[in-house]
Amino acid sequence: MNKLGYLLPLIPFSATLGLLLAISGSSPLYLLILVIFLLVCFSNPSLFKEKLLFILISFLFYYLVGVQFTNQITTSYKAGNQTLYGQIHTVPIIDGDSLSFRLKTDRSEIIQIHAFLHDQSEQINMKQLTPGEVCKIEGSLSEPMPPTNFGQFHYQNHLKFNGINWIMRPERGKINCISKSDSLYYGLQKWRHKQMQRIEKDVDPDYQGLMNALLFGDRTLMEEDLLKAYQRLGIIHLLAVSGLHVGMIVSLLFYLFIRVGITRERTIEVLLCILPIYVVIAGGAPSVIRASIMSMVVLLCMRMKMKVSPLNGIVIVYLGYLIYQPFALFQLGFQLSFLVSFGLIISSHIIRKYTILGQLWAVTFLSQLLSFPIILFHMFEISWISLPLNMVFIPFITTIVLPLTLLSFFCSFILPLTVNIPLLFLEFIYPFINTVLLKMANLKFSTFNVGKPSLFLVLLFYNIIVFAFVCWERGGRRWWKWPGVLIGLLFAYQIMHPYLDPTAKVTMIDVGQGDSFLIELPYRKAVYLIDTGGTMSFINEEWRQSRKPFEVGQDVLVPTLKEKGIRKIDRLILTHGHLDHIGGSFALLKKVAVNKVYYGQGVVEGDIELQLLTEFQRNGVDIQLIGEGKSWREAGANFVILSPKGNENSLNNRSIVLLAEIEGISFLFSGDLEEEGEQRLLQDYPNLQVDFLKVGHHGSRTSTTEAFLDRVNPKWVLISAGRRNRFGHPHPEVITRLEEKDIPIFRTDQQGAVEFRLKEKTVTVRKVLK
């Protein structure tokens, strides 16, 4: 038993490596991790044979698990129009005029359903859908889109890791439900759905989102700004149903059952039956499953009068979970839940030596330390105030909010809302708390953007964290000195490495139907942004309003800059005042410092233009109205403004046209310039030739004329346009014109974002979509 207890922690590491090899294959980084693991295992020669046996068995077993699971991910469907029969597998989510849920088909495949609701009566009808209903759905089946920008959330992989290969978009009126299921699972899901609807109807909007998150693991009712505030401030984990919730519920029920006269043995048996039910009710997130199974293992050992250490318990749960769902290994919630729990269990014997306040500090600090490399890899920023906020919010949520939430929920079945004191108290205090959190999250100093670290850097962070744990266990007055220095050096490298890079970069960002181009000069001596894209909204009916509307500045542009670690824009060049070129600036201004704005000279008439320029002025940004003739040189690059003159007849032809020469490569950024503007350029600049041409007006028929192409003679062209946009951009005639001249085309609607790395007249291309 002693040998087993000593060797057991090695098994999850070797199992993970076997699973990774089967699912993701080998790589230089994987081989490095494998070598480090083996060196650590066999640096101490004791129990050599036992270690080798345990490592080989677990590695090979989980390699085979991964191979078998990967081979089972097959589909019997094909893209195109389909008629599906199946059961609604998850709680349907209606957000404005959109409906989403997962359907378990009669072929045992899970399909993601995304439906557009055409009128309010259809929305009302769809609100009657419940989990377990057997439905016939007709529509178009397609594969999930991969990300189209660097650092963007990988929705395709998210679905893949949940066993989903297809998205169905139903036709209007083609969701017809026939019958309902009477299974226990769907019965629990229906009850969960009903309670969530009851909370949405009865509870104050400022608290209903948090209540649903704490009770049912569902955040759909939370306002998007508030949810992002929890994320930015590093307290998003407080919204997850976790071991804290499970432990509190188990302890409460155990105490109640014992007090009413049920024997200890029967109480344990009842709790063993209740916990799987709770997993379903709480949403089935990895943290819920981990905590529930851990509790079941402890209860089972108590019932059988056996002892099991927490470390052995979590290892057993981890290994069992990966047999059931190997792809969980790639889910952020799974990684954080097990990693933090594993670290806290290992260091529990040291934590117990501190006072209660010291234990709270130690648990909070260790949780932050263990999670921060993974959080950094996914979120690209850290919160300076995360640790003190957690010190306040963890006991606040633990001792006040969670117990009162549970109590108010149970009271709601027997008491009128007007006398549900716990709920009234929470509804009273939470508007104030939400306001404070939003203000703190919007403070520019509250978070620090460091960019996306490489996987290799994440590995180094965790090696230093392990070293820190060893130093902490050995003790000493300044045990933290060397771990702190090493983490600081890595952190400094992550911040500084863009300033050590001699290459320049020009990135065509995929902002849909709009323009946005990012220029990073060598050694990041300056960062320019040409246009910011913008979301064109045609929604004017209240029922269509989404709780979480898509906005290109907030959801595409800002994450792209964060992924690169860009905290400041030196020059923001807004070519003209159309929404699809300037709309994203509002979100940009909230998250990124802007030193200087260039705007085309001429009359500023549009409401959005005036509103935006006023916002820049309010934030102290230097605004310059510029036109033909302005030029400057920076970091060895030359920039010249060729247009506008300021008296053009249309806003498109008043676009700022920028000629840039970077590392010996020339670019012409032409905004929405049309034929009239192109003719003037030909007249005023007869020798104009460039390597890269950003075609005007998204490839519109009114731009990129034959004469203009012949004169400019580009080697490559860039077209920024939205997929299946309603304007038909780029126009087939323009594409034909370019193809006849054998000019390579880079298009955001086909290739997503494209990055051009420039160094001494050489160009290296990096595309999101191959």
Task: Tell me what percent of the residues of the chain surpass a pLDDT of 70.
Answer: 98
Q: Report the run of H or E that residue 517 belongs to, with start and end.
A: strand 517-520
4: pLDDT strictly greater than 60 = no
The distance of Cα 758 from the centroid of its chain, to the nearest Å, equals 30
Q: Please check whether the domain covering 501-540+547-767 is classified as CATH 3.60.15.10.
A: yes
513: pLDDT strictly greater than 60 = yes
Q: What is the pLDDT of residues 229-255, one digit of tens each?
A: 888 888 887 777 777 778 778 888 888
Per the document, the length of the chain is: 770
Q: What is the pLDDT of residues 278-319, one digit of tens each?
A: 888 888 888 888 888 888 888 888 888 777 778 888 888 899
Average pLDDT taken over every residue of the chain: 88
Taking the CA atoms of 283, 284, 288 and 292 in sequence, report the sign of the dihedral they define.
positive
311 with 345: CB under 8 angstroms? yes
The mean per-residue pLDDT over the stretch 574-602 comes to: 92
Q: Give 651 or 7, the one with higher predicted confidence.
A: 651
pLDDT number for residue 538: 62
> Is residue 1 very low, low, confident or very high in pLDDT (cuts 50, 70, 90)?
very low
Q: What is the residue extent of each domain of the chain? A: 2-70, 81-181, 201-452, 458-498, 501-540+547-767
> Is residue 564 very low, low, confident or very high in pLDDT (cuts 50, 70, 90)?
very high
The distance of Cα 433 from the centroid of its chain, to the nearest Å, equals 25
Dig out the tokens for 513 from the structure. Answer: 């139907």
Q: Determine if the pTM surpasses 0.85.
A: yes
703 phi, psi to nearest 5 deg? -130, 175
What order of strands is seen across the sheet that includes strand 517-520? 622-626, 593-600, 568-574, 527-530, 517-520, 504-508, 754-759, 762-767
Q: Give 179 or 754, the one with higher predicted confidence.
A: 754
Alpha-carbon gap, residue 489 to 244, rounded angstroms = 35
From 379-393, 516-530, 756-770, the region with the lowest mean pLDDT: 379-393
Which CATH code for domain 81-181?
A: 2.40.50.140
Q: What is the pLDDT of residues 753-762, one digit of tens each?
A: 999 999 999 9
* Single-letter amino acid code for the residue at 140: S
From 132-146, 170-184, 419-433, 698-712, the region with the lowest mean pLDDT: 170-184
| Residue among 298, 309, 291, 323 nearest 4 (CA) | 309
The mean per-residue pLDDT over the stretch 685-705 comes to: 93
CA dihedral 294, 300, 305, 307 (to 10 degrees): -20
The mean per-residue pLDDT over the stretch 130-149 comes to: 92
* Single-letter amino acid code for the residue at 501: D
Q: What is the pLDDT of residues 352-400, one digit of tens each?
A: 888 878 887 888 888 888 888 998 998 898 888 888 888 888 888 888 8
CA dihedral 188, 192, 198, 203 (to 10 degrees): 150
655: pLDDT strictly greater than 90 = yes
